[in-house]
Structure 1
Amino acid sequence: MSEGWNAIRVIRCAGLLLVAGILAWRALVTNLADYYASQETPEAAVGALRWRGDQPAALYQRGMALTASEPAEAERLLRAAAWADPTDALTYLALADQWAKAGRQTAAVGLVEIADALGPLRSPALARSAEFWLGRERPDRALARWSMLLRTRPGTAAQLFPLLVQLAENPATQPLLQPLLADPPEWWDRFFAHAAAKATRPETAVFLYQNRNRHGALPVADEQRAYLDRLWKENRWLEAYLAWLNGLDERQTRTLGNVYNGSFETPITNAGFDWRVSAPRGATVETIETYGARGDKALHVSFNGERVRFQHVLQYLFLDAGRYRLQGRGRPDGLKAERGLRWRARCAGANTILAESEPFVGSDEWRSFAVDFAIPDQGCPAQLLRLELDGRVELDFEAQGGAWFDDLAIVRQD
C-alpha cells in the first residue's frame, strides 16, 4: 500500500515539475519576446516574433515597417496585432491609414473612432488621430486632439502652435476656435503670446484677444502685454490705448490722466501706457516714501558715480494735437552731473524734442517746474515722456547722487 502511495507522490511531483517547467518556459519566451519588442527596431521585432508569434508590439512594429513595400503583409500583421491586443489605439490608427490608402474611407473612419475611444491620453495616438482627421478635412476633430496633446505634452507647442495660428488667420476656420475662446484651456495664454508675436496679420491677435471669454475678469498681465506689444509694433495706437484702458482695475483707473500715475502712488506695471522703469548698471530707480511728497511715495533716481546714459524712466502718451503744459515737482539730492536730469517729451519714434524741463542738479528743496509745448496735427499720434540724463560727450554721463520727482502732469492749454 505504501509503495502505491509513494508511486502516486512521485507522479504528482513529476507532474508539478513538468507544469512548472512549462510555465517557466512560457515566462522565458514571453519575457524574451517582450524584451526584443521593447527595442523598437525592425530587427528586434523579427527576433521577438521568433520567440512568440503573437507578440502584439512586435506585430505592430513589423507591420509598420512593411506598409510601403508590402502593404498586404503589413495589413495582415496589423490585423494580427489588433487580435493580440485589442486595446492598442495605435494599431487601429495604422490599419485605418492602410484602409484609407486603399479607398476604404468609411471603414478607416470607423477604426479611428475606435482608436479615439481607446487612447485619448496617449500622445502618439493623439498625434496620428489629429493627422488623420486633418487629412479628411475635419479640423474640428484634429483641434480637439491637439488640445489634449498640448495639455498632456506641453513640448508639442513648437509643432502645434503654428498650426493653430493658421486656423486663427483664416476667417473660414476661425469659428473652430470658438469653444477654446469660450473656455480657454490652461495652455491658451502661451498660445496667445505666440500668435500675437508670429501671426502674419495683426487682425489675428485682435480676433483672439477680443473674442476671449474672461468670465468678467480683467486680462492677465502677460496676455495684455503680448497684445499691446503687437499693436505697438503696428503703430495701432488707438486700439492699444483702448485695450490698455479696458484692462485697468478700479484703483488704477483713479490715477488716469494725460500722464498716468503721475504721483507714483500705484504700483508700476511696465506695460501699456503705464510707467516703464528699469535700472541700468550704475543707477537705481524706485518709488518710495520721502519727506515733502504729496502722497505716500515719490520717484527716486540715484547714481553711484559710474558712466551711464540714463533714459530708463518713461511713459507713452496718447494725446490729441494741441497745446499743453508739462508740469511737476522735483528735488535734486546731491546730484553731481555735468548737465543734470531733464524731463523730455517727443513724438513716439521721433527724436525731435517737443518739451524739455529745466535741469535738476545739485541739492535743493522741492520745487515746481512747468514748460509749455504743442503737439502737431500730423505725424504725432502717440508721444513719449522720458526722464533723461542730459549730455553731449561721454564725460557728461558720469553721475553721482540722486533726485526725487512727484506730481507729474500734462495739462491741456486750449
Structure 2
Amino acid sequence: MGEIDTLLRRWPDQFSAITPGWPAILSSSDGYQAVLAALEAEAPWRGKLFLALGQNPQSLGPANQLLLDLGRTGAPPTSSELSSVITGYIKQKDYGPAYRLFLFSLSDRERKLGGYIFNGGFEPLFSGKPFDWVIHDRSGLEITFAGSQGAGETDSGATVRFLNTPVKNAALQQYVELPPGSYRMSMTASATNLKLPKQLFWSVRCADPSSEIARFNIPEGTFNRRSLSLDFTVGPAACPIQLLRLETAAIAESWRFRYVGTLVMHRLSIERVSS
C-alpha cells in the first residue's frame, strides 16, 4: 500500500493500472486497514478509489464498510464518495443497501429534512446523492432552490422559470422508497402566467421494473399558494424503489409547444393514508 500510495501521488494518471488490484487488497484484513489508514490521511486518490469501487459489483461491500469506518474518523466521506457507492448499488439493483447508506450519510441538519420525500421544502442543500434532489440541465428552463430559512414567504421553495422554448423530459428528480400501501402527494404552489402547451406533472414511477404509478398534473395560469393533492396506491407487486420526477409530456422539441411563466413549488410531500 505504501508503494501504491507513492505511485498514485507522483503519477495520478496511472490510477487505472492499479484498479484491478483493489478487490484483492481489500479482501485481507491487513490490506483493508492499510487502505483505510491512507484514506483517513486524506490520500489525494480517495475520490478515484470510491468511483472505481462503485463500478465493481464485487467491491461494493468493502466500499460500504470503508465509508462507515471513515464516518467515525476526522476525515468523513464526501458527498461525491458516497454518491459513487450509492449509485453503484442502484445500478446493481441492490436498493436496500443503497438507501441505508444514504440514511447513514445524513447530517443532523439533513435528518430534519427526512420523510418519504427528502427535502420537500427545497432547502438549498445539494449533495448529489440519488435520494436527494438532482436537477437536470435543460436549456428551456431554470430551477433555483430557496428554502424557508431566510427566504420570503412568497419565494420559498423551488422556482421553475420557463424561457419561452420547448421543454422535453425530466427537469428534477429523486429516488424514493415507498412500501406497498395508499399515499397522498400534496403540494403548495404559486404560479405567474404559467402556460403549458403539454402537461407539466410530477410522476411516481417504479424504477425496477419501469412503470408509472401516479401522475400529478400541475395547472396553468396565475395563482398564489394553491394547495393541490393526489391520492395513489403502490401495489403489492415487487417495486423496491421508485423515481419521483418533474417532467413534461412533450415527446418532441417542437417550437409550437413553448413553455412560458414561473412556477414556485413551496412544499411537496408524500404521506401514507389509511386505505
Q: Identical aligned pairs, as a percentage?
A: 26
Give the distance between the partners of 2:50 and 2:217, measured in 1 at CA: 44
Counterpart among 178, 181, 184 of residue 33 in structure 2 = 178
Show the 5 A alignment for 1:226-305.
226-288=84-146, 292-293=153-154, 297-305=156-164
Amino acid aligned to 2:34 = P
Asked if the contact 2:120/2:267 (under 8 Å) is kept, the reply is yes
TM-superposed CA distance for 1:285, in Å, is: 0.8
TM-superposed CA distance for 1:288, in Å, is: 3.3
Residues 397, 218 of structure 1: alpha-carbon distance in 2 compared, 3 angstrom cutoff: farther
Asked if the contact 2:205/2:243 (under 8 Å) is kept, the reply is yes
TM-superposed CA distance for 1:237, in Å, is: 1.5
Amino acid aligned to 1:334 = N
User: RMSD between aligned alpha carbons?
Assistant: 2.5
Q: Which residue of 2 aligns with 1:4?
A: none
Asked if the contact 1:324/1:413 (under 8 Å) is kept, the reply is yes
Give the distance between the partners of 2:203 and 2:118, measured in 1 at CA: 16
Give the distance between the partners of 1:331 and 1:350, measured in 2 at CA: 34
Give the distance between the partners of 1:278 and 1:150, measured in 2 at CA: 33
Larger Rg: 1
Show the 5 A alignment for 1:4-403.
143-168=1-26, 171=27, 173-184=28-39, 185=41, 186=43, 187-198=45-56, 200=58, 202-212=60-70, 214-215=72-73, 218-288=76-146, 292-293=153-154, 297-391=156-250, 395=254, 397-403=257-263
Answer with 268-277 or 214-223: which moved more.
214-223
Give the distance between the partners of 2:230 and 2:71, measured in 1 at CA: 45
Secondary structure (helix, strand or coil) at the match of 1:258 reads coil
Give the distance between the partners of 2:252 and 2:2, measured in 1 at CA: 61
Asked if the contact 1:331/1:365 (under 8 Å) is kept, the reply is yes
Amino acid aligned to 1:326 = M
Give the distance between the partners of 1:198 and 1:351, measured in 2 at CA: 24
Give the distance between the partners of 1:399 and 1:233, measured in 2 at CA: 33
Give the distance between the partners of 2:208 and 2:52, measured in 1 at CA: 25
Q: Which residue of 1 aligns with 2:264?
A: 404
TM-superposed CA distance for 1:384, in Å, is: 1.3
What CA deviation, in whole Å up to 9, does each residue of 1:213-270 have, x standing for no partner? 6515542112101111111111221211111111111111111111111111241223
Give the distance between the partners of 1:321 and 1:207, measured in 2 at CA: 30
TM-superposed CA distance for 1:401, in Å, is: 1.6
Residues 178, 393 of structure 1: alpha-carbon distance in 2 compared, 3 angstrom cutoff: closer
Structure 1: stretches of 5+ with no match in the other structure: 1-142
Q: Which has the higher helix share?
A: 1
TM-superposed CA distance for 1:411, in Å, is: 0.7
Asked if the contact 1:322/1:375 (under 8 Å) is kept, the reply is yes
What CA deviation, in whole Å up to 9, does each residue of 1:134-168 have, x standing for no partner? xxxxxxxxx33222222233233222232234433
Give the distance between the partners of 2:253 and 2:127, measured in 1 at CA: 32
Amino acid aligned to 1:150 = L
TM-superposed CA distance for 1:305, in Å, is: 1.7
Amino acid aligned to 2:212 = I
Amino acid aligned to 1:410 = I
Give the distance between the partners of 2:218 and 2:166, measured in 1 at CA: 18
Give the distance between the partners of 1:408 and 1:333, measured in 2 at CA: 19
Q: Which has the higher strand share?
A: 2
What CA deviation, in whole Å up to 9, does each residue of 1:47-69 have, x standing for no partner? xxxxxxxxxxxxxxxxxxxxxxx
Structure 2: stretches of 5+ with no match in the other structure: none
Secondary structure (helix, strand or coil) at the match of 1:366 reads strand
TM-superposed CA distance for 1:350, in Å, is: 4.7
Secondary structure (helix, strand or coil) at the match of 2:129 reads coil
Residues 218, 360 of structure 1: alpha-carbon distance in 2 compared, 3 angstrom cutoff: farther
Give the distance between the partners of 2:46 and 2:250, measured in 1 at CA: 46
Secondary structure (helix, strand or coil) at the match of 2:217 reads coil
